[in-house]
Structure 1
Amino acid sequence: MVIYVFDGSFEGFLTAIYESYYNKEKPDKIVAMDDYVENLIDRPIFIETDEIKSDKVYAGIKNKISTNALKKVYHVFLSEVMEAPTVIYHYLRLGFKIGNKVDLNLMDDWVLRMDKINQQVASEKHRMLGLLRFQLVENDLYYAPLAPDHNIIALMANHFAQRMSDQKWMIHDTKRCIAVVYDLKEWIITPIDLPAPPVGKEEYLYQQLWKEYYQSIAIKERRNPRLQKRCMPVRYWSFLTEKK
C-alpha cells in the first residue's frame, strides 16, 4: 500500500492532498508522522510541508466545494482520530467531483464517516464551553485547564475572546501541552509545558463559595448520578471546581 506520511500539521496534510493530485497518485492512507509505524508491506512517501501548495488546496476546497466543507475538514482534522486524514482525503476527492452537493451524498461511506467524526468534535466543543472553569491566578490572568479528547481549544477561542474581551485569559490543554492565550487584543496558540499556576487567596475564597453554592442547591431526593455522568463525563471532573 502507498502511505502518505506528513508532519502532523494542517498545512502538511493539505500539502499531501496537493501532491496526490499533482502526481496523479491515489494513496491508500494518509497518516501523521506520529501515527506511522514502519513495516515491510507499505511504501511510505514522506511529504514535506509547503505553505504555497497547502494554500492552493485550502482555496480549492473553499471555492470548488464550499466554505462549510472547509470548516468540516478542519474540524475532522482536529479530531486527531487516526483515520481522519484518510477519511478527509476521500471526502475531498468526491467533493472536487460534485462540488457543494457532497454533504448531501449520504449514501457514501466516507461522507457518513466525516459527519460522524465532525459531530464528535462539535459535541465536545459544545460541552466544554459549558464545563470550562476559569480561575484567577497571578498577573490578573484567568486560567482554565482542560484535557479534551479532541484538539478543540482553537475552536473555543473566538467564543471566549468575545465574552471575556476585557480580561487576560489562558485555556491550557494539559494533554497536548498547548494553550490559547488572549492579551486583550488577540489570541494565539502556543506550546506550553508548565504546571497549573497557584491561585490567590481571593480566588480560593470564591472557589469555596462556589462549592458551598453547588452543595446548597442540590436536592438529595433528585440525585441522578447516571444522568450527571452523561451530561458531565467523569473524565472532565478533575478540572471542575465543584468536583475537586
Structure 2
Amino acid sequence: MVIYIYDGTFDGLLTSIYEAYYRRENPEKILSEDLIQENFLIEKIYIDTNKEKAEKVYKAIESKISSEALRKVFYVYLSEVENHGVIIFNYLRLGFKIGKNVDLNLANNFVLEMDNIYQKVSRERHWMLGLVRFRQLDNGVFYGPIEPEHNIVGLIAPYFTRRMSNENWVIHDIRRNIAAMYNREEWIIKDIELKEILNLAEGEKSYQCLWKEYFNHISIKERTNPKLQKRNMPMKYWKYLIEK
C-alpha cells in the first residue's frame, strides 16, 4: 500500500496530485501529515509542496475541465472528510480524460462522492451565513464563535467583509483553533487559541436580552414547527445562538 503524505495545505494537495499523475502511481490514500498513524505495512511517500507544480494542476483543472470543477475540488478539500485526497485525485484523473462533462458521470463513484461532499460543504456554508452570532467585546471587536463540521471559515469571511465592512470582527472556528480576522480593510486567517475569558462590552448583555425578547415575540405559537426549524437550523449549531 502506497500513501502520499503532504503538509495539509491546498498547494500541498495539488502537488501530490501532480506527482501521482506524472509518476503514474495510484496511491491508496493522500493524507495530511497530521493524520498519519504508524503502520509498518504501508509505504509512505512524503511530498514536498511545490507552488509551481500546484499552479500547473490548478490551471489544468480550470482549462481542461472547468472552473466549477476547481471550486468543487477546493470545497471537498475543505470538507476534511476521510479519504478526500484520493477522491479528488480520482475525480481529476477522470476529468482530465473526459473534460467539462465529468460532473454528468454520476455513475462513477468518485464523481458521485465529490458531488455529495460538495453539496454538504455548500449547505453548511449557506447555513452559517445566517447563524453566526457576534458579541461585541470591550475592545470594540465583534466576536463570533462557531464550530462547523467543515473548514468553512474562509468561505464565509468574504460575505461578512461586505456586510460588516465598517467594523472590526473575528469569526473564530473553535474546533480548529483558527479565525478569520477583519480590520476594516482586509481579512486574514490565523491560528488562534483562547486562554482567557473574553470581556463583553458595556451594554452587550442588554442587547442580547433584547434580541431574545424580539425572537420570542415575533414567533407565532400556533405556527410553531420544531421539525422544520431543526431542519433549517440544525441543533448542532445552537450552542452559540444567543436566542437559544
Q: Which TM-score bucket, shorter chain as reference? A: over 0.9
SS in 1 for 2:203: helix
- Listed as ranges, the matches of 1:110-121 within 5 Å are 110-121=110-121
SS at match of 1:165: coil
Which aligned runs of 4 or more in structure 1 are off by greater than 6 angstroms? none
Aligned to 2:193: 193
Q: 1:196: how far off?
A: 5.8
Match of 1:203 in 2: 204
Structure 2 unaligned residues grouped into runs of 5+? none
Is the Cα–Cα contact under 8 Å of residues 3 and 29 in structure 2 kept in the other structure?
Answer: yes
What is the letter of the counterpart of residue 108 of structure 2?
Answer: D
Q: CA deviation at 1:34?
A: 2.3
Q: How many residues align?
A: 243
AA aligned to 1:129 is: L
Q: Name 2:32's counterpart in structure 1.
A: 32
Corresponding residue of 1:225:
226
Gaps in structure 1 of 5+ consecutive residues: none
Equivalent residue number for residue 162 of structure 1: 162
CA offsets per residue over residues 191-228 of structure 1, 9 Å max, x none?
A: 11015622112221111100111122233343333332
- Please report how far the alpha carbon of residue 11 of structure 1 lies from its aligned counterpart in structure 2 after TM superposition: 1.1
Asked if the contact 2:140/2:201 (under 8 Å) is kept, the reply is no
Matches within 5 A, 1:117-196: 117-194=117-194
> CA deviation digits over 1:18-42, x for unaligned, max 9?
1112222121221222222222322
Please say if residues 138 and 202 of structure 2, whose CA atoms lie closer than 8 Å, have aligned partners that are also in contact.
no
In structure 2, distance between residues paired with 1:99 and 1:34? 33
Alpha-carbon RMSD across the aligned residues, in angstroms, is 1.4
Q: Distance in 2 between matches of 1:165 and 1:93?
A: 41
Task: Kindly indicate whether the alpha-carbon contact (under 8 Å) linking 2:161 and 2:182 is maintained by their aligned counterparts in 1.
Answer: yes
Secondary structure of 2:180 counterpart: strand
Question: 2:21 matched to 1:21?
Answer: yes
- Quick one: distance in 1 between partners of 2:158 and 2:218? 32
Contact 1:17 1:89 in 2 (8 A): yes
Does structure 1 retain, via aligned residues, the 8 Å contact 2:76–2:114?
Answer: yes
Question: Could you tell me the TM-score, scaled by structure 1's length?
Answer: 0.94
Structure 2 residue 108 is matched with structure 1 residue 108: yes
State the identity as a percent: 51
Shift of residue 4, structure 1, vs aligned partner: 0.8
* Contact 1:145–1:196 under 8 Å retained in 2: no
